[in-house]
Amino acid sequence: MKAAFFGLEKWEEEYVKENITARPEMEVLFFPQKLDKDHLPPRTDFEIISVFVGSSLDKETLEKFPALKFITTRSTGFDHIDLEYCRVRKIIVANVPSYGENTVAEYTFGLILSLSRKIYEGVDRIRETGKFSSEGLKGFDLRGKTLGVLGTGKIGCHVIRIAGGFEMKIIAFDPFPKNELVEKLGFEYKNTMEEVLTAADILTIHVPYMKETHHLLNERAFSLMKKEAYLINTSRGGVVETSALVKALLEKKLGGAGLDVLEEEGVIKDELDFLVFGHPEEHNLKTVLANHVLMDMPNVLITPHNAFNTAEALQRILDTTMENVESFLQGQPQNTVK
């Protein structure tokens, strides 16, 4: 049995080597780069592969692995994998369903506080100009403000827990509400997403990316929000229509945004690589340009898909990934994606 891990840092590679409990005859190879059709390894005879969200396992890439039987992604999301093709090939796909509900939720509030209190602007002012002045840095309290939460899965619920500590009013929408948690966590479900959009002072998104959530936040959605409202996205870039967000911000129909994810973030992450290897017809170049507009806006904070990135969460991801491999080898795969 041959397995390959892609995109691990050196310490992660060493951790896997020390802790993976596979069969003695199993051969495990490590490749530091991501995996996609432009970044193929010298060997493709693996039955098992593990990737992170920066990889793109489309049909063209997967066709290069004729022996492939099992994919374990080191993430909760799996929109970077062609599940339909995997079903045709009978390739089992597993994920890490829970590794950082507190991790991502804490980061969400990091973005909220950075925007509400203009923390980044204050740090940048002192570092760049040496000017120790609070002029122009007036923020606003979170206490008493309405937090709108789209998606009340594990991350969304942990965000609600934290918001309670700030004494915020919390409203939420989820097509599958967890009514048993309403009293315990102290929030209110609204019947429609529109009700949350119109009432929220801060809107935070915690939904998976799928066909139903593609551009969930679009021009119509932004038109319903308060002009001073802030958007926070730590879920997936494709949930927000970038051009609509730019338009809303330019027309001052939103107060600002904190974004840890972007549409076409793979291109933004490695634009030189895209220029050399990329195929323009496969990417929305208008969205790429809109991302650069967002980066230059003073009321927008963008971070590089970093909400998951703590030592504890990364170890949990690796532990679950190794358990996924072991369960597959035992003929009882766990955490499989349907």
* pLDDT, greater one: 276 or 111: 111
Is the pLDDT at 110 greater than 50, yes or no?
yes
The answer to whether 236 is a known catalytic residue is yes
Q: Which of 12, 236, 263, 264 is catalytic?
A: 236
Instruction: Say if residue 275 is exposed, middle or buried (CB neighbours under 10 Å; 0-12, 13-18, 19+).
Output: exposed
Look at residue 336 and tell me if it is in a domain: no
pLDDT of residue 287: 78
Specify whether 95 is located in the same domain as 121: no
Name the pLDDT band for 96 (thresholds 50, 70, 90). Answer: very high
Query: Are 137 and 165 within one domain?
Result: yes
CA distance 221 to 241: 10
Tally of structural domains, the chain = 2
What is the per-residue burial (b if ≥16 Cβ within 10 Å, else e) of 66-89? eebbbbbbbbbbbbbbbeebbeeb
Cα separation, 175 vs 193, whole angstroms: 9
Residue 10 lies inside a defined structural domain of this protein:
yes
Rounded to 10 deg, the angle between the 119-129 and 101-116 helix axes is 60
* Of 282, 277, 314, 301, the residue nearest 34 (C-alpha): 277
Assigned token pair, 230: 């802030």
Assess whether pLDDT exceeds 60 at residue 86.
yes
- Residue-wise pLDDT for 30-64, tens only, equals 999 999 999 999 999 999 999 998 899 999 999 99
pLDDT at 285 over 80: no
Per-residue pLDDT band for 277 (boundaries 50, 70, 90) equals: very low
Residue 33: CB partners within 8 Å, gap ≥ 6?
A: 6, 7, 39
- Please give the Cα distance from 66 to 62 (Å, whole number): 8
What pLDDT does 275 receive?
A: 39
Are residues 42 and 177 both part of a single domain?
no
What residue numbers bound the domain in which 17 lies? 2-99+311-329
Mention every residue, 6+ apart, whose C-beta is less than 8 A from residue 88: none
Among this protein's residues, is 214 annotated catalytic?
Answer: no
pTM of the shown model:
0.86
Q: Are residues 106 and 214 located together in one domain of the fold?
A: yes
- pLDDT band for position 111 (50/70/90)? very high
CATH number of the structural domain spanning residue 25: 3.40.50.720
Task: Compute how many other C-beta atoms are within 10 angstroms of the C-beta atom of residue 124.
Answer: 11
User: Does residue 117 fall inside a structural domain?
Assistant: yes
Active site residue 89: no
The verdict on 81 and 118 lying in the same domain is no
Q: Could you tell me which residues come within 8 angstroms of residue 316 by beta carbon, excluding any fewer than 6 positions away?
A: 96, 99, 100
Same domain, 281 and 323: no
Instruction: Determine the pLDDT at residue 49.
Output: 98
Q: Is the pLDDT of residue 83 over 90?
A: yes
In a domain, residue 337? The reply is no
